[in-house]
Amino acid sequence: MSNRTTVTEFLLLGFSEVWELQILHFVVFLVIYLTALVGNLLNFMVIVFDHNLHTPMYFFLLNLSIVDLGSISVTIPKSMANSLMNTKSISYAGCVTQVFFLIFLLVADYTLLTVMAYDRYVTICQPLHYETMMNSRACVQMAVGAWISGILYSMLHTGNMFALNFCGGNMVDQFFCEIPQLLRLTCSDSYMSEVGVIAFSICFVLGCFIFITVSYVQIFKSVLRIPFEQGRHKAFSTCLPHLTVVSLFVCTGVFAYLKPTSSSPSALDLVMAILYSVLQPIMNPIIYSMRNKEIKAALRRLTGCR
């Protein structure tokens, strides 16, 4: 294929050629998808319908649930359909759409996690100024900023990626259209521009991660000064899960995009892709909601269960 105008579809080669293993892949991904849908939908409904949860922290959790519902719906359904129908193809337009929405939602997700770290910092380190600094207007502005940053960044990244010429075939060694794997198929002179965008991405990710880390250093300093053990335990139980989610997201995403792509499919590449694109929407409702006493109490009130 001489250039991108002749590429009408891509072939996703992420999983086994064996039919039985493809069915296993379909079943596993179906369970994962349904788990993420149920968890995030429950989280969404509880926060919307329970007025006791109409606070900044749960407002950001509401946005995070919407992002997670979208991000897991971008990659998994197409992969499951391909396994069930024993095909590997995705159209050129479908690949463009997948890349755009995945990047948009991942960036929005990461930005929301950064905002949530700031919310935790203000809650613990600046409690007297919390009402002023985290008022309704400020929360809406931060959430809108997260969504807009995702859209703008995705437009830049997707437009730059698919402006390249594809002359290395159309076989993508992944279960979805992933940027590093697509770059292996390009031979355009503007290849370095996409590398520049990826370098900018790394700086953005590390910049946010440093901000989150500094915020939590200040949080832990304040927590250690709390005289009561119960207060320290409550603060740590709120902050440590968030830091765990962020660390996993950053480490797997950076590894996937910085690791040199090999000439043959790698099981490690698949694992990293699953960790940053699939596991995250499942972990967020479990870590942020199912361990949260206020969410569980609101869920009992909503369902009428004791």
SS3 for 139-154 is: HHHHHHHHHHHHHHHH
pLDDT at 101: 95
Cβ neighbours for 57, distance < 8 A, ≥ 6 positions apart: 116, 119, 120, 123
Whether residue 36 is predicted with pLDDT greater than 50 in this model: the reply is yes
> Do residues 139 and 56 make contact, with C-beta atoms less than 8 angstroms apart?
yes
What is the enclosing helix (H) or strand (E) of 12? strand 9-12
The residue that leads in pLDDT, 185 or 303, is 185
Distance of CA 119 to the CA centre of its chain: 19
Whether residue 295 is predicted with pLDDT greater than 50 in this model: the reply is yes
Q: What are the tens digits of pLDDT across the range 201-250?
A: 778 888 888 898 888 888 888 877 777 666 666 666 667 777 777 888 88
C-alpha–C-alpha distance, residues 79 and 176, integer Å? 7
Range name among 47-61, 176-190, 224-238, 274-288 with the lowest pLDDT average? 224-238
C-alpha–C-alpha distance, residues 95 and 45, integer Å? 32
Q: Is 31 exposed, middle or buried (0-12, 13-18, 19+ CB in 10 A)?
A: exposed
Q: Is 22 exposed, middle or buried (0-12, 13-18, 19+ CB in 10 A)?
A: buried
Q: Whole-prediction pTM value?
A: 0.87
Whether residue 190 is predicted with pLDDT greater than 60 in this model: the reply is no
Long-range contacts of 236-241 (CB under 8 A, 24+ apart): 237/291, 238/120, 239/120, 239/124, 241/287, 241/288, 241/291
In 3D, which of 259, 252, 275, 107 has the Cα closest to residue 184?
A: 259
pLDDT at 55: 87
> Do residues 40 and 62 make contact, with C-beta atoms less than 8 angstroms apart?
no
What is the DSSP-derived secondary structure letter of residue 166?
Answer: B
* Angle formed at CA 184 by CA 16 and CA 101, multiple of 5 degrees: 75
C-alpha–C-alpha distance, residues 118 and 280, integer Å? 20
Q: What are the tens digits of pLDDT across the range 48-80?
A: 888 888 888 889 989 999 999 999 999 999 999
Q: What SS3 state is found at 186? A: strand
Q: What are the tens digits of pLDDT across the range 251-265?
A: 887 777 776 655 455
- Structural domains of the chain sorted by starting position, each given as residue range(s) with its CATH number in brackets: 4-303 (1.20.1070.10)
User: In the chain, what percentage of residues exceed pLDDT 70?
Assistant: 86
In 3D, which of 35, 56, 48, 30 has the Cα closest to residue 290?
A: 35
What is the enclosing helix (H) or strand (E) of 91? strand 89-91
pLDDT at 301: 78
Cβ neighbours for 180, distance < 8 A, ≥ 6 positions apart: 256, 257, 259, 261
> Do residues 89 and 82 make contact, with C-beta atoms less than 8 angstroms apart?
yes
pLDDT at 291: 62
- The strands making up 9-12's β-sheet, listed across from edge to edge, are 89-91, 9-12, 171-172
Q: What is the average pLDDT value for the chain, to the nearest integer?
A: 82
